[in-house]
Homo-oligomer: A and B are copies of this chain.
Amino acid sequence: MNASNGKVPMPTLERLANYLRYLLDLEQERVETISSAEVEQQTGINAAQFRKDLSYFGEFGKPGVGYNVAELQSRIAHILKLDQEQRVLLVGAGNLGSALVGYPGLKEHRFNLVAVFDNNYSKIGRKLWDLEILDLGRLKEVNAVLRARMGILAVPRVAAQSVAEGLVDAGVDSILNFAPLILRVPPHVVVRNVSFVQELAVLSYHLSSEPPQHALDAKG
């Protein structure tokens, strides 16, 4: 049910989520079948790449015909476990945490934010959207009941490592980390990092070579 044999490259997993996004669109547009060449046209991802990515998980298409959109969509969703509820804990009820709770994309993909924690007593007990903000100290106790395995870390950098340890102690083994540091976690825990500054820094680097567009911009 998982990757047939060995391990799946990380970039493949990342692309899988992209394919899914496009397949959901195509389903809405009542498109029944697509070929890998059409996927390349839509997404810009090489057709061979697409077929190779799928090959880690089995056979999905018919030679000479292509892929059934609905079937492929549902099989990719299944591979990524997006066909079942995933309970998620959020730590950090600041601006970012608030934006995440309000982000509809999570619910759409069946990620269910089941609790929000903070250590700031002026926030504890208040509501973030429809969720009451809980005392960070209750993390383990609360998750003994909720049994979420995913956690989102939206706290300041200085707090991140210790909160991560708290999450792990509470049974979380997948962490989405927004704090700009490399977390130390036990080997069974998977961490994904999102760093706005890193992303902007990479963009900033690339500005160097480009000519300032304004100078060229005569028309308009």
The residue from B201, B206, B210 contacting A109, defined by CB atoms under 8 A apart: B201
Query: Contacts A99-B99, A207-B81, A207-B86 hold; do A10 and B213 have CB atoms under 8 A apart?
Result: no
What are the residues of chain B within 8 A of A150 when measuring CB–CB?
A: 200, 203-204, 207
Place the interface of chain A in its size category.
35 or more
What are the residues of chain B within 8 A of A14 when measuring CB–CB?
A: 198, 202
Q: How far is the CA of A173 from the CA of B168 in the complex (A)?
A: 41
Q: How many copies does the complex hold?
A: 2
State how many angstroms separate the Cβ of A26 from the closest Cβ of chain B: 13
Is A131 among interface residues, defined by CB-CB distance under 8 A? no
Mark A residues whose CB is within 8 Å of B: 2, 10, 13-14, 16-18, 20-21, 43-44, 79-82, 86, 88, 94-96, 98-100, 102-103, 105-106, 108-109, 111, 140, 144, 147, 149-150, 168-169, 171-176, 180-182, 188, 190, 192, 194-214, 217, 220
What are the residues of chain B within 8 A of A217 when measuring CB–CB?
A: 171
Query: Contacts A17-B195, A182-B43 hold; do A86 and B210 have CB atoms under 8 A apart?
Result: no
